[in-house]
Amino acid sequence: MANSRYEYVKGFELDDRILPNIWVVVRIDGKGFHKFAKAHDFEKPNDVNALNLMNHAAVTVMEEFRDIVLSYGQSDEYSFIFRREADVYKRRAAKILSYVTSLFTSSYVYNWNVWFPNKKLEYAPSFDGRIVLYPTDQNLRDYLSWRQADVHINNLYNTVFWNLVLKGGMTNQQAENELRGTFSADKNEILFSKFGINYNTIDPMFRKGTILLRKRTQIPNLPNVKRQLIIPLYEDMIRDKFWKEHAEILGKYLPGDHEYEKNEDNDSNKLPELVIRQLEKLNYRTDSNKSVQVAK
Ligand code: ATP
Ligand code: ATP
Ligand code: MG
Ligand code: MG
């Protein structure tokens, strides 16, 4: 056979199947996003559209990979948690990692204009990706706590820093000096006394990062319909409460329930844009007030 002479090279491909029965975490992170944020004039310290675009790309990944039970994003990074039993691509590590990373990246580019309708994408962004395995539930929780604590530390620092620069008229260097050696309490105090900002009232997406969970979701105005949707939450994963309220993540996995409450004033409810986009894909129409108006 003409092929047989060459076929031996196939043996150079090594088996990279991931251990069974273990939490698989894929984390992606934007390459050089400090520069990317500058080139695209991201608002400091937090550009809400840039975060929404990250969330949008993560929803695309979760729609494709049904074994992802939770995703967690902040800044230019996203973590995707695959359930222990996931058998996608026979658990081949390179397949999983490369698909997740490239799908995330292509969705980020594909949906750029949804979140930045008046901004040109100046160059092609890229993301690195890694797989980390966590044997125990506690390891997984500690991993997510670590990422969420990171958001808190960075965001508190950045919030004070940019207020000192943008509202306080300091140079970057002066702001850096002002903050050197300060503790959280000092930073909260500066924010409050100088700028009248109570840190706890700023957008929870900035403070907590974005958690995406699959939930059977009750939509206001559609009382008898529950759809499985990927919904954003901004909760504290460090506390036990989160894991009790969303017991399906560590338990026998079956999406839990979520209800968007009616806003009594106008009989409608502002649903998150990410959720609205999923409903529209399911052919629900939504009105300009972002309430769900008409079933398909
Ligand atoms: P590397 O390639 O090593 O990851 P990097 O420049 O991407 O380098 P990171 O540590 O990943 O560095 O930090 C990402 C940076 O991207 C942040 O420090 C911030 O400057 C910027 N950034 C990301 N998302 C936003 C956002 N939503 N709003 C404003 N700035 C952002
Ligand atoms: P997998 O997801 O396992 O890679 P696949 O459908 O991508 O599955 P491949 O073995 O990668 O399968 O083969 C790629 C297929 O894509 C080819 O068999 C062919 O049908 C199609 N294809 C790729 N490039 C072209 C092209 N330039 N013109 C026409 N068809 C193409
Ligand atoms: Mg980065
Ligand atoms: Mg980063």
Burial of 144 (0-12, 13-18, 19+ CB in 10 A): buried
Q: Which two tokens stand for residue 29?
A: 């992170």
The pLDDT value recorded for residue 34 is 97
Q: Give nearest CA residue, ligand 1 atom 20.
A: 34
Ligand nearest the Cα atom of residue 35: 1
With 60 as the cut, is the pLDDT of residue 267 above it? Answer: no
Q: Is the CB of 31 inside a 6 Å radius of any atom of ligand 1?
A: yes
What does each C-alpha distance from 44 to 20, 34, 117, 206 come to in angstroms? 43, 11, 19, 11
Which residues have CB atoms below 5 A from the ion given as ligand 4?
29, 75-77
289: pLDDT strictly greater than 60: no
CA distance 126 to 117: 20
Of the chain, the end-to-end C-alpha distance in Å amounts to 58
- 285 has a pLDDT exceeding 90: no
* Residue 276: strand, helix, or coil: helix
* Across 216-244, average pLDDT: 91
Question: 268 pLDDT band (50/70/90 cuts)?
Answer: very low
142-188: pLDDT as tens digits: 999 999 999 999 999 999 999 999 999 999 999 999 999 999 999 99
Mean pLDDT, range 262-267, rounded to an integer: 57
- pLDDT tens for each residue of 79-131: 999 999 999 999 999 999 999 999 999 999 999 999 999 999 999 999 999 99
Best residue for ligand 1 mutational test, from 76, 158, 207 (most atoms within 8 Å of Cβ): 76
31 labelled binding-site residue: yes
Q: What CATH number belongs to 14-135? A: 3.30.70.3000
- Domain residue ranges of the chain, discontinuous segments joined by +: 14-135, 144-204, 209-294
Q: How far is the CA of 261 from the centre of ligand 3 (A)?
A: 36
Give pLDDT tens digits for 33-55: 999 999 999 999 999 999 999 99
Amino acid symbol at 133:
L
